[in-house]
A and B are shown apart, each in its own frame.
Chain A
Amino acid sequence: MSNPTLAPATPSGFRLPRLQELGLVVVVLVLGTLLTAYGHYHPQGDTNSFLNLDNLIGQVATYMAVYAIMAVGVTCVIITGGIDISVGSIYGLSAMCVAGVLQNLSPETPAWKSVSLALLVGPGVGLVCGLINGGLVVALRLHPFIVTLGTLSIYRGIANIMTPLKTFPGQGKAIPDSYTQDFFQRFFFESAPGEGGVQIMAMIFMLIVVALGWFYLRLMVAGRENYAIGGNEEAARFSGIRVNLVKLRVYAISGLTAGIAGVVSVGIFGTASSNTGSGYELMVIASAVVGGASLVGGRGTAFGALLGALIIRLIENAIFITHQQQDYNQIIIGSAIIIAVSLDRISEYARERRALLRRARKIHAAASTNPQLQKEPA
């Protein structure tokens, strides 16, 4: 609840990232350095097993993309003091709709057409789901956890009944290669035709969404209104902010980003099934929280969401690189969330202490220079 004001809405003057994001950057650098050192001593052939394009883009950036994209949307919700636990289901439903539509296209459909159609369907479905979430939260005045718990089940149920085969594309059908192999799974920087190279499209989608999220939250009045509501909802209401509209908007944005993530997912995997994204809400909320979003509202950034997702993915990548079994994955990630939130609370407490001390020193200094204040009443 650090900053309920709308002050930094203007783009005047570039400011360094906040201390908390710098802390996250340091964590990323430390993790990266440790893994680089490990990769140096355990190379693959003559290549560092961590510090190579295939790993950094193919393993880390590509697979964190869907989490990071959704984390940007969920961060917007969390900043207002809300929560959206239905993102995994919206992601799955959007992916099912995208795959369901694309499977009916001709195999020769060009990329511009298939990608445009997917970008219409996926985010469209996500937006509708998000508007429903926001509408229910605002209209029924229910706790967002309860609303999104209900819609989590409803959206997953819809995905389940979409097709008896529970998966798209259905038998005998396929998503056009122009969408998968020629676009999302296209190899760049090949060493020779058909050899080497990395797939970068998922990462590009992620960076675009993070940039848009950063612009919205940092430079637009609409974005700053989220912080005001999260900081103090009543104060925000009295200052003229249309709280209900802002809430509706953030849930819509959360649904929209889940829809975009669904588009990317179908591109990466070439398929969607009724359990796509099942349980992903936990990873997404974890990314947002590790990235500095405060569950009581008023704090969080798009860049932080990206860093949160990156830290979680680096931990997962470390488990693979060091050949540990995935049993440890959940334990390590769960611990990372608790440590991140604890550190956040400690740094917040220290910041408050410092501010109090500064204020006390100022009062003391003012008192020592003002003889009138030195006269203590009897």
Chain B
Amino acid sequence: MNRTSKCLSLLAAAVLSLGSLASAQDKQIKIGMVAKSQGNAVFQAAHAGAEAAAKELGAKYGATITIDWQTPPEEDAQKQAQAIDALAGAGVQGLLVSCSNAETLKPAIDRAARKKIPVMTFDSDSPNSKRFARYGTDDEYCGKVEMAELCRVLGDHGTVAILAGNQSAPNLQKRVAGAKEELAKHPGVKLLEASGGVFYHVETPEEAVKAVKSAQDANPSITGWCMIGGWPLFTANALPWPPGKVKVVSCDALPAELEYVKDGHVDALYAQDCYGWGYKGVETLLEKIVNNKQPESPMITDPLTKVTKENVDEFSKNWDKWLKQ
């Protein structure tokens, strides 16, 4: 091989490799994302996580990744089903869904799976559908850690009540069961006898505030609240007692809730990985789409981050990032 032909070969190889690089970069992966509602900050964070993953993981998977966010303005499972069908029809390569109603979304998820589109759920699952994985909280564990923390801050002594939201929601029932199971391990802490110690309410911040205030007024012996959802803390001045008088541990760590930690009304919050729902969800989907790789377990558990007065300022910076995108 003479020098000229060597040079030509090298040039051809360079052009080919550049071409293959360009084609890799030209590869487009579109992921459809359907959360429960747009107004909820946790889903805005999940969206931000998905967008960040799309930006950051593009190079790793040699593709331009875009997120098609089709979330109804308010919770409506039928609108979600329409969105899933529309996205599947529009040719997305993967779907990331948080289900307002598991059974209502099952047919739409199954139709997408029939089109060979991998579907992953986050937060709220549709366990009977053909989704290949789910990332979300282990509800029983969530109830357990919250109650364990409440017992710890109470010094294993006192009377507690559980704020439980909608009585019929299966995930909340599991959290209540987990909290009660943990409480049984702490003989010095009693569950309030009135109303069985568990207060249900319509899942709006206003109704939750009413439930807490009514229960506390009627039962001044309550020294601790285990809130398995952070509903009342989405409003201001929801806890009408001086900071520290009644101990409170709650789920979620939305911006409004963090203020209660800062002023000492709430001892600890357990934050769900809402940013990670989007980020990890996209990452898991990309592994499935590009490498046809299943996660080790179809149920990926959210680690829950504990937020206290010590790390609340650091944690609140996350929201600046999550809600900015």
Contacts and interface: CB of A to CB of B under 8 A. Distances in A.
Nearest to B78: A269
A170 to B, nearest CB: 10
A59 interface: yes
Contact of A326 (B71, B81, B103): B71
Contacts, number: 80
A58 B73 contact: no
Interface stretch (A7-15, A160-168, A226-234, A251-259): A160-168
Nearest to B116: A195
A317 B70 contact: no
A194 interface: yes
B101 A321 contact: no
Contact of B81 (A44, A269, A316, A321): A269
A339 to B, nearest CB: 21
Contacts of A370: none
Interface in B58-92: 68-73, 76-79, 81-83, 85-87, 89-91
A239 B86 CA distance: 52
Chain B, interface size category, equals: 20 to 34
A273 interface: yes
A269 B104 contact: yes
B72 A326 contact: yes
Contact of A49 (B71, B90, B101): B90
A167 B103 contact: yes
A45 B116 CA distance: 15
Nearest to A39: B90
A316 B86 CA distance: 10
Contacts of A265: 78
B25 interface: no
Contacts of B71: 326
A89 to B, nearest CB: 15
A233 to B, nearest CB: 37
A326 B89 CA distance: 16
B87 A320 contact: yes
Interface in B104-128: 104, 106-107, 111, 114
B168 interface: yes
A325 B70 contact: yes
B171 interface: no
Among B70, B81, B85, B103, residue most surrounded by chain A Cβ atoms (within 10 Å) = B103
30 contacts: A44-B89, A44-B90, A49-B89, A54-B89, A55-B89, A58-B85, A63-B85, A165-B168, A166-B168, A167-B101, A167-B103, A169-B103, A180-B107, A185-B107, A268-B107, A269-B78, A270-B103, A270-B104, A271-B103, A271-B104, A320-B70, A320-B87, A320-B90, A321-B86, A323-B68, A323-B90, A326-B38, A326-B71, A326-B83, A330-B73
